[in-house]
Structure 1
Amino acid sequence: MLKIKARKLGRRRALLELYREYYDGKLRLVDPKPPINILDYTLSPAYTLWMWTIILLVFSTLTTIWLSDTIWPLKYIRYVLGTIYTLFLPGYATIEALYPREEDLKPLEKLALSIGLSLAIVPLLGLILNYTPWGIRLEPVLATLALYITATTIIALYRKYNTYITKEKPKPKT
């Protein structure tokens, strides 16, 4: 029936009609092979691309900071990644952990809250570091931020998986 309707309307109009039905809630898209456990969920890029992007950005930032002293063009990449690392990622990981459902926040709200929370979290981590034997130096700050971002990302992954399980209830493969 869909092919007949597509031929009558034309491909572009048929896609527009499908989008409208999806937007109105008449059409529901379902994953044909949903993840069964948390490992499948974690390794499925359709569900956890955000997590792998955060991990890649943390790793890239740490790598460019340690290599930028020897390779001078990395200095500018270091500035960009360092800005994202300090002004966006801590707040974004926290927002993902606090609001695990996609429909909880709009993308612009998520961006604004991520930047605002990062501006609150990073100084608090610096204050905590100030009272440790390591002090506020590059290595402890990098390690603390990496640890915080990774820990909150893992918490967010767990919460998103629980939300997915309660929402979807995938059936085991037989």
Structure 2
Amino acid sequence: MEKWIQNLMESVFGKVKEIAVETSVNGRSRYLAQKMEDDFSFRLSDRNITRYYKAYITGEKRKITPNKATLNALAEFIGYRGFEDFIRRNETKEEEKCRKFSRQIKKMYKQIALSLVVNFLLLSGLFFFVSKYYKKNCMIWMDDHYEKIRCSDLELEVELNEKVLAKFKKNTGG
């Protein structure tokens, strides 16, 4: 993205240099600010324009990234429909392929993440259902003792009581 902002700034200031009568940086900045307001109804201060010039053209200042609206307005100033149009019409075939591939990779990552979340929820629900359904939480009398069973509303089943299950056995005498 930084490369494209650099290219845009070079194109904008190249055009300003060609058409502005002023030769100083401040004069050209005032010209561009006025032109942006008159032709595109976009207010951009000449101080910001000077900062962009010193950052992107002369390298005197630290680069500050313009916001999307500013990038779009500057691209319109040099004849494009916006910043995305500027990129699209100036990128090489390799850059276009890389951009499309990058978009596809991001889309694939989103799909994988969504798939993982859905699978996690499905497996969690399945595990919960299986653990509840197959849990042996009842008992039934079998000949001489109680045995754990899965609750199934049988006539003789009772709720599981671990103490009774362990100790309660039929007395066979003796």
TM-score scaled by length of structure 2: 0.22
* Larger helix proportion of the pair: 1
TM-score scaled by length of structure 1: 0.22
* Larger strand proportion of the pair: 2
